Amino acid sequence: MINKNQYELSFRQVCLFLIALVPVSKMFMMPSVLAKHSNEDLWLSALLNFSLDFITLFFVVLSCKNAKNTLIGALEDKFGKTKTKILFCFYLLYFLLKALVPINEQKDYVEQTLYNLTPTILYFCPFFLVAFFFCLKHLRVLGRTSDVVWFTTIVGILIIFALSLGNMDISSILPIGANGVSNVVKGSFSSFTWFGDALYLMFFIGQFKFEEGGTKKILLSFLCSAVVIVLFTIIFYSVFTSIAFRQKFALTEISKYATVINNIGRFDYIGIMLILFSNIFSLSLPLYFACKILSYVFSIKYKWLSATIVIGIQAIVLIFFNQYVYSIENFVMNDLGVFFLIFSNVIPIIISLLIKKENKNEVAV
Amino acid sequence: MKLEQNLDKNLELFKSKLKSDDVTFLNLNVGSSKAFLIFVNDIVNKEELGHLILRPIARYQGQVTEKKLFDLFLSPEKTKINQFEDCLKEVLLGSALLVVDGLTSAFSFGLKQFERRAITEPPTSTVLKGPREGFVESLPVNISMMRRKLKSPDLIFENVTVGRYSKTPISLCYLGGIADKALVEKLKNKLKSIKIDAVLDSSYISKFLCEHNISIFKQVGNTEKPDILAAKILEGRVAIFVDGSPIALTVPYLLLEDFQSPSDYYNSSYSATVARGIRFLSVLIALFLPAFFVASELFHLQLIPLSFLLTIVNSIKGIPLSPSYEMFFTLMIFEILNEASVRMPKYVGMVVSIVGGLVLGETAVTAGIISAPTLMIVALSGICLYTVPELEQTFSVLRLVFLIIAGAFGCYGILATIALLFIHLITFENYNTPLFAPFSPLIKDDMKDAFYKGFLSELQFRPKSLRNKNKRRILLNEEGEND
């Protein structure tokens, strides 16, 4: 049972979490991946994924209401310890795979855009140190991070939007749906690795006090993030039109044609740096949850040990097996769509319904 | 150990412990009984000793009993003691001790008289507006200053003695109805558990009050001014005075409090908000400007506007050091000058500033050892750091760390280090109080006195970041109930 005097998160922090950490990781390579499959309908692919997450989030939020137990506690009560651990083994794999593509993409971004003069993977290594330190902390760190990082996210996004709006040609995304449903679905399928954020909320069950009207507030926070990203994909395609899929790192490309940059230098880098800062935490999230799951599944007492294992795996794969990473990345993006769909959306909905039913029964008793 | 009835045995005992030449043993007769008086020569007020103790003794003729003797003396600070160790402590603290034959209790008279510094404005926190008095090294004087500020029966002082050799009196000061009782108890226990030879300054104590030894950040607040301390106590903090130190410590500590200057509360809200904004901006410039400049020069030339890049290129032409070494070298010179000017006598310090700042800097640029932009950035960063003098030491270390990271890893390294520092800050708690509050955890009401300095009438509640009782500090009406 949960100790109501010791909630790890506050309700406000949960809402800010959705605003601060959900949109940033989707602003680097994802728009160009979507553009590759869906062309001018890339925003529809993004919208489709957000809709799936929105539905999942709705069920998860319902189970957060009147939660009598944490996620692990509720699952253990329902299925027993062994079955819960087996399920969490799959989630460990899920988080490790989910982390791989965005982190590799971030590594490439850092190497190719920030260190174009001297590209070397070493420059990205400090990220692993931050992620390691992040993983050592209690769940409270997520809420407290969100309390501040929402500001850097919003300011960063505003700067980027302000600098890129002037170069858009909105007619390039018209007519809507011209690219066909199958391509939209294909785009959506290949970008599942960047989505599935409702799942994080599932791990917050029983960790925060639900406020009155909380369902609306949480869904609205998520909607804000969704609108920002959908807008971002629209702006991205409107700036680059048919060559959008070639612009691998949307965030740097989208604003560089602003007139102000010609006069005072790359002013947009302030926004980029702010988003990069928020993204450090966003990228650490799957690693953080992988750590917690590893500790639970294998009953590892020392946080540093699970953090070393999880971060170590990621670092070794990205640093030493770099030539294979792109094959893994392709496999994750093209063949693991169903896997991501099941673990990001289907299972969370089932679990949420079960927990909600359990809560209802307890209230009735 | 209890005192003996036999005077000679007691005298022998005291003489065996108090061998120093400045301790006086005065043999006398009190009525028909023999007695001796012990005091430390230079710390007892001899005039008061004569008037309040020796004169009544000389006039006394009757039988000696404890009650009669106790009533005989006019000293307002008199106590009966029967433990030998307590007697020793009293003598060393500056009391005169009277031991009478046949009695198992001694009489202690508080007649201390120490030389003390006059009350002046503390050099570390000068103000244009507002009170100018600062604490001194004398604990009683400091306590009297606090009593003058807060004339409330709720203002409580609790005394503890720390230091095996120094026996330093330490006083915990708090407002009974506001400070958290658990915090006061925790502090008292912490102070009592300190086993150290001597407490020569309050900074000795602050090290023992830290709950995390390895953090680079301060964990105990401090101030030299009674008005600031009164304000902090009114917010629910507990103050610690150490005899011999003009600096009072305060617990719990928030990082924000060092950005709040006393003048913010004496000036208008608008100017205080602007001043705070400047302070925050200055700290950002001081910490990150040298690092980002080096990172841009080394890795990210695209960040620098073209015209500025041309200026830099012209100025670094022929400089033998790489940008990071050049910045590091200049920063080290600045730190050396800073260290020297703090320690040197004032009149020499002026010369050092002129020679170091003007001659050395100018010559180094002309000789082509360092470039003008680097010198300017270091100077600007150095000045900016002093807008928050309390955190100067912490931030100057961090500035060096960021500079090294910038030279090795560039901008992404700086971002990662900021993230690392940020995680440390947001998860750091001392006495159950988050160091980074009210920013994280975000406490909306406390934000009225953070970046933005609200009007005094807006600050109706005590900071929620601190675990205080009696939340409301501005009552709604004359009979307004406190929550």
Percent with pLDDT over 90 in chain B: 33
Per residue in A251-310, pLDDT tens?
A: 777 887 776 776 677 778 889 999 999 999 999 999 999 999 999 999 999 999 999 999
Residue B4 DSSP class: P
Number of other CB atoms surrounding residue A80 within 10 Å? 11
Nearest CB to B440; choose among A138, A144, A264: A144
Q: Do B423 and A133 touch (CB under 8 A)?
A: yes
Counting Cβ atoms within 10 Å, is residue A243 exposed (0-12), middle (13-18) or buried (19+)? exposed
User: Dihedrals φ, ψ of B370, to 5°?
Assistant: -130, 160
Q: Can you give the pTM of this predicted structure?
A: 0.87
Question: Taking CB atoms and an 8 Å limit, are A265 and B299 in contact across chains?
Answer: no
Answer yes or no: do B441 and A10 touch at CB < 8 A: yes
B475 touching chain A per CB within 8 A: no
> Hey, of B301, B420, B423, which one would you mutate to test binding to chain A, going by the most A CBs within 10 A of its CB?
B423
CB B460 within 8 A of CB B472: yes
Most confident range (mean pLDDT) of A226-235, B212-221, B452-461 is A226-235
The answer to whether B410 contacts A123, with C-beta atoms less than 8 Å apart, is yes
pLDDT digits (tens, 9 = 90+) for B166-183: 889 999 999 998 999 999
Residue B413 touches partner A, C-beta closer than 8 Å: yes
Chain A touched by B300 (CB under 8 Å): yes
pLDDT at site A166: 81
Euclidean distance between CA atoms A244 and A251, whole angstroms: 12
Instruction: Return the half-sphere exposure (C-beta side, CA atoms, 13 A cut-off) of residue B319.
Output: 25
Give all strands of the β-sheet with B33-40 in edge-to-edge order.
Answer: B23-30, B33-40, B95-100, B106-110, B78-81
Confidence of residue B472 (pLDDT cuts 50, 70, 90): confident
- Predicted confidence (pLDDT) at residue B483 exceeds the cutoff of 50: no
In the A/B pair of chains, how many CB contacts fall below 8 A?
96
Q: Are A269 and A261 in contact (CB under 8 A)?
A: no
pLDDT below 50 — which residues of chain A?
Answer: none
Q: In whole angstroms, what is the distance from residue A210 CA to residue A163 CA? A: 38
What is the pLDDT at residue B482?
Answer: 47
pLDDT tens for B332-353 read 988 888 888 777 777 777 777 7
How many angstroms away from the CA of B209 is the closest CA of chain A?
24
Residue numbers of B between 302 and 341 with CB closer than 8 Å to A: 302-306, 308
Closest-CA residue in chain B for A134? B423
Q: Closest to B441 (Cβ–Cβ): which among A122, A147, A280?
A: A147
pLDDT tens string B31-57: 888 889 999 888 888 888 888 888 888
Partner-chain contact A130 B423, CB within 8 Å: yes
Q: What is the pLDDT of residue B231?
A: 92
**CB-based contact (8 Å) between B214 and chain A?**
no
Give the CA distances from residue A193 to residues A3, A27, A283, A340, B248, in Å, rounded to whole numbers and listed in that order: 34, 13, 12, 7, 55
- b vs e for A219-239, b when ≥16 Cβ sit within 10 Å of the residue's Cβ? bebbebbbebbbebbbbbbbb
Residue A185's contacts (CB-CB under 8 Å, 6 or more residues apart) are A45, A48
Q: How many CB atoms lie within 10 A of CB A168?
A: 18
Note the pLDDT of residue A363: 60
**Lowest pLDDT segment from A32-36, B12-16, B82-86, B474-478:** B474-478
Q: How far apart are CA B364 and CA B378, in angstroms?
A: 14
By the 10 Å C-beta count (0-12 exposed, 13-18 middle, 19+ buried), A309 is classed as: middle
| 8 Å CB contact of A115 and B426 | no
- Distance (Å) from the C-alpha of residue B474 to the closest C-alpha of chain A? 27
Residues of B in contact with A123 (CB under 8 A): 299, 409-410, 412-413
Mean pLDDT of the region B358-387:
87
Mutation choice for B interface testing from A137, A144, A264 by most B CBs within 10 A: A144
Query: Quick one: pLDDT at residue A60?
Result: 93
| Highest averaged pLDDT of the listed ranges A177-186, B17-26, B29-38, B417-426 | B417-426
Judge whether B246 is closer than 8 Å to chain A, CB to CB: no
How confident is the model over B129-138, as a mean pLDDT?
89
- Contact in structure between A63 and A205 (CB atoms under 8 Å): yes
- Residue B478: predicted pLDDT: 57
Query: What is the ipTM for the molecules in this complex?
Result: 0.92
Between A117, A140, A148, which is nearest B439 by CB? Answer: A148
Give contacts of B303 with chain A, Cβ < 8 Å.
Answer: 265-266, 269
Residue B424 sits at the chain A interface (C-beta within 8 Å): yes
Interface contact flag, A144 B434, Cβ < 8 Å: yes
Average pLDDT over residues B385-392: 89
The pLDDT of B374-393, averaged and rounded, is 90
Please tell me which of the candidates B412, B427, B440 has its beta carbon nearest to residue A123. B412
Q: How much is the pLDDT for A127?
A: 93
**Taking CB atoms and an 8 Å limit, are A265 and B418 in contact across chains?**
no
Q: How far is B426 from chain A (nearest CA, A)?
A: 6
Distance from CA of B330 to the nearest CA of A (A): 25
Give the angle B181-B183-B187 at the CA atoms, nearest 5°: 120
Nearest by CB: A126 against B303, B417, B436: B417
Distances (CA, A) of B435 to A248, B218, B270, B438: 41, 9, 26, 9
pLDDT of residue B282: 95
How close, in Å, is residue A131 to chain B by CA atoms?
9
